[in-house]
């Protein structure tokens, strides 16, 4: 029984023990902020005091890149830092703070420039930010996608939240609706994290979809090879799919995996705040776990995970199907019209466009991703 998601609940659900903490000094993880979203070290200390018993953890962020304002703490920043440091426990943590120092700077672009300019970076990056794909120019989308390829070539694992609008919705010329994919979630070179809820909201139970969990198909980027089999199986076997006019079934499909995204506790401005939700919560949770897996890989002399998707989509065929809890119940939101009636895609066995491959079963995921 619990009164909301906190680190102990996450660690129990995903089978993380007190021994599952980072031990290497040269491993690190990061989250990036683009609003004037500042985290406060004091909030982290209060959070860990309230919720961090049961596992060794750090109470300070090691490195802030950019401007750390003195204003009120932001909910997003508090959430990201507190939860990446709860699953990626005892791992050195960085915050990229990109509020846009100059009035004409684009904060997201400023973050990409930092990645291109720093020779030593954390191996795992968690970003809870997205735009509608159709709100950005083709030139910008294609170039930013190449920036994620650059990060992948360097071995960085870049995670993006899948968004909180389900499949999304857009009215196209002629008055019809289509779903509205989100970017960077739709980039084929990032790992996109969707959201789930507990089946019983007050117990550590199996998970169902969180109906806000962003998911769908890019209208810009074609489906990458690594996911083609999984996505085609979903499209072939799903009992009910939205009409094909609502989405581009040959586009990059997302999310890739998921985690709990509902009913979190966050400490912000020194106050514990309940009922915080969104894929902003699930993304740092997964990021911290991947940073912990990097810790174990580095201990074994293996390279960091890097761009995860090619390995993630092969887990089942390599006999590691149990590494993720398959979420098979529930659907997410979409257009409120007479055709789809607010329903987008639905979860099902194996990969689906609401929760991807499902949520981490940490010990088995660790075993799968450290197997020779």
Partner 1 sequence: GRALERDQPFRPPPGWVLAGRVSPEHDVQLTLALRQRGTARLTRLVRAVSEPRSPQYGKYLSVEQLRDVVQPSPATLMAVLKWLQSHGVEDCRSVATLDFLECRMPVSTAERLLPGAEFHRYVKGQRSVIRSPQPYVVPEELAEHIDFVGGLHRFPAERSVVSRAWAKEGMESRGQRAA
Active site positions, annotated: 76, 80, 280
Interface residue with partner 1 among 2, 154, 170, 232 (CB under 8 A) is 154
- How many CB atoms are closer than 10 A to CB 149? 13
* Interactions with partner 1, residue window 289-308 (CB under 8 A): 302-304, 306-308
SS3 289: helix
Q: In angstroms, what is the minimal distance from the CB of 213 to partner 1? A: 10
Q: Is 229 in the site for partner 1 (CB under 8 A)?
A: no
Q: Is 215 in the site for partner 1 (CB under 8 A)?
A: no
Q: Is 143 in the site for partner 1 (CB under 8 A)?
A: yes
CA separation for the pair 157, 193 (Å, rounded) = 12
Interface residue with partner 1 among 168, 181, 214, 242 (CB under 8 A) is 214
243 or 274: CB nearest partner 1: 274
Tokens read off for 186:
């739709």
Q: In angstroms, what is the minimal distance from the CB of 229 to partner 1? A: 14
Q: In angstroms, what is the minimal distance from the CB of 210 to partner 1? A: 9
Interface residue with partner 1 among 314, 329, 363, 370 (CB under 8 A) is 314
90 or 128: CB nearest partner 1: 128
- Quick one: residue 201, left, alpha or beta (phi over 0 = left, psi -120 to 50 = alpha)? alpha
Interface residue with partner 1 among 49, 62, 336, 339 (CB under 8 A) is 336
**2 burial class (0-12, 13-18, 19+ CB within 10 angstroms)?**
middle
Q: Is 99 in the site for partner 1 (CB under 8 A)?
A: yes
Q: Is 113 in the site for partner 1 (CB under 8 A)?
A: yes
CA count, 13 A, side-chain hemisphere, 145: 20
Q: Are 285 and 83 in contact (CB under 8 A)?
A: yes
CA separation for the pair 204, 213 (Å, rounded) = 20
């Amino acid at each position: 029984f619990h009164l909301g998601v906190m680190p102990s609940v996450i660690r129990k659900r995903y089978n993380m023990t007190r021994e599952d903490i980072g031990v290497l000094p040269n491993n690190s993880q990061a989250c990036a902020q683009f609003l004037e979203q500042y985290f406060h070290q004091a909030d982290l200390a209060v959070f860990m005091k309230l919720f961090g018993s049961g596992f060794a953890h750090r109470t300070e962020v090691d490195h802030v890149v950019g401007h750390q304002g003195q204003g009120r703490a932001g909910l997003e920043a508090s959430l990201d830092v507190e939860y990446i440091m709860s699953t990626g426990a005892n791992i050195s943590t960085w915050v990229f703070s990109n509020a846009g120092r100059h009035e004409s700077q684009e904060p997201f672009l400023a973050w990409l420039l930092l990645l291109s300019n720093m020779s030593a970076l954390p191996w795992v990056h968690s970003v809870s930010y997205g735009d509608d794909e159709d709100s950005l120019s083709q030139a910008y989308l294609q170039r930013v996608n190449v920036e994620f390829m650059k990060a992948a070539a360097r071995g960085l694992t870049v995670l993006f939240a899948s968004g909180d609008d389900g499949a999304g919705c857009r009215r196209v010329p002629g008055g019809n609706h289509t779903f509205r994919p989100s970017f960077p979630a739709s980039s084929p070179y990032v790992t996109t994290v969707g959201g789930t809820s507990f089946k019983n909201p007050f117990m550590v139970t199996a998970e169902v979809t969180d109906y806000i969990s962003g998911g769908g198909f890019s209208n810009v980027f074609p489906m990458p090879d690594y996911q083609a089999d999984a996505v085609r199986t979903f499209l072939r076997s799903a009992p009910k799919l939205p009409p094909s006019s609502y989405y581009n079934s040959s586009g990059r499909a997302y999310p890739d995996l998921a985690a709990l995204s509902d009913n979190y506790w966050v400490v912000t401005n020194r106050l514990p705040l309940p009922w915080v939700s969104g894929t902003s919560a699930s993304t740092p949770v997964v990021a911290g776990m991947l940073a912990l897996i990097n810790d174990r890989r580095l201990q074994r002399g293996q390279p960091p995970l890097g761009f995860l998707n090619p390995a993630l989509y092969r887990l089942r065929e390599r006999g590691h199907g149990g590494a993720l809890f398959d979420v098979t119940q529930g659907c997410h939101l979409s257009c409120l019209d007479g055709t789809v009636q607010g329903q987008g895609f639905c979860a099902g066995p194996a990969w689906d466009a609401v929760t991807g491959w499902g949520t981490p079963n940490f010990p088995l995921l660790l075993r799968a991703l450290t197997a020779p």
